[in-house]
Structure 1
Amino acid sequence: MVDGLQVRILEEAHSSRYSIHLGSTKMYHDLREVYWWISVKKGIAEFVAKCPNCQQVKVEHQRPSGLAQKIELLK
């Protein structure tokens, strides 16, 4: 029962009209003022990581990683 309630809270907070698809950090800061349960931060991060919309947007906004560059060390 508790797990179902947590999922409903996460779904509402993540997909409501006023806070559409917040990242996990923003969502955590907003929810911690009202709700708390064991591993709330981990639960929020996992929930957001499973959101297909968030993953598509995240990929579009990330800078492409380049090749590793050798760093010269001074002796």
Structure 2
Amino acid sequence: MLQIREHRITAFELVEDGTLRCQGKLCVPNIDGLSQKIMDEAHCSRYSIHPGSTKMYHDLKKVYLWNDMKRNIAEYVAQCSNFPIS
């Protein structure tokens, strides 16, 4: 964190509200199932007509960033009983 505050690592930014961002994306820590909650919200949103893993990943990567994000989203969508397997 010290390197980020001192601007030695330029891809990351510690914002005044205490959030960590990487190239403008909100870095999601691996705690309390936060990434799972984000995927639940994105999946159940009335604005997202049941997205497949590719669309869901592209939509979420515009705003969020976490380790193994693409794999987590693919596994999440694969477990959904409403998603047809092609």
How big is the alpha-carbon RMSD for the aligned residues of Structure 1 and Structure 2?
1.5
Q: In 2, distance between residues paired with 1:3 and 1:47?
A: 17
Structure 2, unmatched stretches of 5+, are: 1-29
Percent of residue pairs bearing the same amino acid type:
58
Q: In 1, distance between residues paired with 2:33 and 2:49?
A: 21
Aligned length, in residue pairs: 57
Please state which structure has a larger fraction of its residues in strand.
2
Structure 1, unmatched stretches of 5+, are: 63-75
- Bigger radius of gyration: 1
Please state which structure has a larger fraction of its residues in helix.
1
Deviation track 1:39-75 (CA, whole Å, cap 9, x = no partner) reads 0000000000000001xxx25xx4xxxxxxxxxxxxx
Point out 4+ residue stretches in structure 1 off by more than 4 angstroms. Answer: none
**What TM-score comes out, normalization by structure 1 length?**
0.69
1:28 matched residue in structure 2: 57
